[in-house]
Amino acid sequence: MRFVSPNFSDLAEPNIEIKTFPDGDSYVRVPSIKKEESVLFHRLYPEQNTAILQAVLMLETLKRAGASTTLVSPYLPYSRQDKVFREGEAMSAEIICKLLLEAGARKLVTIDCHFLKKEGTFTYGGLEIENFSANKLLIEHARKKMGEIEIITPDIGAKYLVEEFGGKGMEKKRGGYQKGEEAYRKIEFVERKFEVKGKNILILDDMISTGGTMIKAVENVKKGGAERVFCAATHGLFLKNSLKKLKEICDGVFVTDSIPSPVSEVSIIPLLKDYL
């Protein structure tokens, strides 16, 4: 059985009903469940808190009706909070995985999950996760656009995306949490120990969120004399007007459609074809 949430309707025909009660509670209906292997396609972003809860409601409903469900969610929110930096912090990534497991996910299929940092099958928080990478699709797309390019990452954590293509990683340092309501650690610097002068550069990352990382990386390689600079990532959240800012300072920006955006130029369908 294949169940498709309305928030996946750009990639497959939806057959689940999701609505909102007048008070804001989520209404979910998964019709025609059979006691068999099922695949549930549901994005967990944007509006991640609601989307996660909707996933829990659907998974529990499938479990209660006797189905065994693989959840396909291309971007896993909370995946960057996989360590405790300050005493008392929630290990959100693990908690979300445990929650999905408890709700009935037999397996999670996702793409460039931040804390896994490579393709493959893993167990995290007890949940089996099959993690694909969009790196090859993004690099192929970049080569069609730009021809010969040097591929780099803005930090060491994303280096796995470029290693097999001879790519190098810059180093990034974040500061502590800033004062105020927003939990944000500002980027202090992005450092580079290799030459970029006269080269066409693709900066590739797993995600562009506030754009702080990419903006610093673009500034760095432009200062180093790079010829043309493109930015790409698997997941484009593009918060704080960062898409506009990036477009102003580089030669092009593109991402996959794991999260739909105006620059989702690369389809994730080839990665999910076995499930779709």
Q: Is 240 a catalytic residue?
A: no
Find the shortest distance in angstroms from Cβ 215 to ligand R5P: 8
Q: Is the dihedral of CA 205, 206, 209, 213 positive or negative?
A: negative
Among 15, 103, 96, 94, smallest CA distance to 61 is for 103
Amino acid, single-letter form, for residue 61: T
Find the shortest distance in angstroms from Cβ 145 to ligand R5P: 22
**Cβ distance to ligand R5P smaller for residue 67 or 237:** 237
**Cβ distance to ligand R5P smaller for residue 29 or 83:** 83
Find the shortest distance in angstroms from Cβ 19 to ligand R5P: 32
Please tell me the distance from the alpha carbon of residue 250 to that of residue 229, in angstroms, as a whole number. Answer: 5
Find the shortest distance in angstroms from Cβ 85 to ligand R5P: 13
**Cβ distance to ligand R5P smaller for residue 124 or 160:** 160
Nearest 5°: phi and psi at 138?
A: -70, -40
**What is the helix (H) or strand (E) element at residue 248, kind and residue range?**
helix 242-249
List contacts with ligand R5P (CB under 6 A).
80, 154-155, 157-158, 205-214
Give the number of other Cβ atoms within 10 Å of residue 179's Cβ.
Answer: 6
Find the shortest distance in angstroms from Cβ 242 to ligand R5P: 7
**Cβ distance to ligand R5P smaller for residue 223 or 240:** 240
Amino acid, single-letter form, for residue 257: D
Amino acid, single-letter form, for residue 264: S
Among 126, 2, 15, 170, smallest CA distance to 71 is for 2
Find the shortest distance in angstroms from Cβ 225 to ligand R5P: 23
Say which of 34, 118, 173, 179 is annotated catalytic.
Answer: 179
Tokens of residue 33, six digits:
């469940």
Give the number of other Cβ atoms within 10 Å of residue 228's Cβ.
Answer: 16
**Cβ distance to ligand R5P smaller for residue 207 or 271:** 207
Among 148, 156, 96, 158, smallest CA distance to 127 is for 96
For residue 170, what is the DSSP state? -
Residues 6 or more apart in contact with residue 181 via CB below 8 angstroms: none
Residue reference for tokens 């209404």: 27
**Cβ distance to ligand R5P smaller for residue 2 or 173:** 173
Q: Which residues does the annotation mark as catalytic?
A: 179
